[in-house]
Amino acid sequence: MVVNVAAESKAASVLSKQLQGVHHIGITVEDMGKALEFYTEVLGGKVIIPEIGLAGEVMHNTLLQKEEIEALEAGLDPRSMGIPNLRDGQENLDLYFVQFDNVVLELLQYRDASAQPNSSSAFPAKNPHSSPAFVNSMHVSFYLRDDVDVDEFVKNLEVECQKRGMDRVRCNRIVRVKSEAERQNTDRQNNSCKLFDPSFGDFEGWTLVYCKGPSGEQLEFNQVIHKAKTLFETAQEEFKRSRERE
């Protein structure tokens, strides 16, 4: 079903003129070693800024103040709500900025201060279940080149990650399955959702894959061609022109 949304023309706020765009996207990971391997060796990002062992009063308040206040007002121990103690250095925060061609990812791991960096000793324990339908759930979408065979990419990604022990990296299929064995044995053509029919309207030319990363983070891989690509390129040029006129 195609839905046409008529965007109202409204003046942008003064604040919008102070932005340069989106700088980076952050992902809190369970196993920093595996996360670095996935985003640099498998997907080809480049580490540009590492910072190991962040802690202290200022860092704690900057990152965790709202959550801590909510826990205290509810009469709860902040740690019981998954809030690490950076203030006293019981936990530390490690982070890496990873550069891709058009976006930067920030990988973060909260860990016990006595644990080795780049290990699987994350604080707090990982949530037992995740769903892209959860409120506040976010995902990172990687942009595939126009000449990539998306179904082949999915197969190669899963094979590569399996070799590296990244068993959580699994891509959804477009047909219904009731077991992991069935998912693995679907036909290759079912590896991606291809919106190629003109009935998809502005989405025509979009191919998408939903996939979990090594810490269970929600990822997406997109290929955007035909009408959808033209719309994005046109919008980008119009945005640049509007900024130049300001």
Question: Would you place residue 6 in the very low, low, confident or very high pLDDT band (cuts 50, 70, 90)?
Answer: very low
Six-digit token pair at 59? 């860092």
Tell me which of 226 and 41 has the higher pLDDT.
Answer: 41
The pair of three-digit structure tokens given for residue 1, joined into one six-digit string: 């079903």
Integer Cα distance of 79 and 76 in angstroms: 8
What confidence tens digit (pLDDT) does each residue in 168-224 have? 999 999 999 899 999 999 999 999 999 888 888 888 889 999 999 999 899 999 998
Instruction: Give the CA angle between residues 9, 238, 200 to the nearest 5°.
Output: 80
Say what the pLDDT of residue 8 is. 52
Residue 72 host element (H or E): helix 57-73
Mention every residue, 6+ apart, whose C-beta is less than 8 A from residue 205.
195, 196, 224, 225, 226, 227, 228, 229
For residue 165, pLDDT over 80 is answered with yes
Say if CB 117 and CB 35 are below 8 A apart: no
Q: In terms of DSSP bridges, do strands 218-224 and 206-212 run parallel, antiparallel, or are they unpaired? A: antiparallel
Is the predicted pLDDT of residue 11 greater than 80, yes or no? no
The pLDDT of residue 157: 95
Q: Residue 53 carries which side chain, given as an amino acid letter?
A: G
Least confident of 76-85, 169-178, 192-201, 233-242: 233-242
If residue 26 lies in a helix (H) or strand (E), which one and from where to where? strand 24-28
| Matching residue, tokens 């707090």 | 124
Band (3; pLDDT cuts 50, 70, 90): low
Look-up: residue for tokens 């179904």? 151
- Mean pLDDT, rounded, of the chain: 88
Write out pLDDT tens, residues 101-137. Answer: 888 999 999 999 999 899 887 787 667 677 787 777 8
Element (H, E) at 207: strand 206-212
| Tokens coding 57 | 């009063």
Residues 6+ apart with CB under 8 A from 135: none
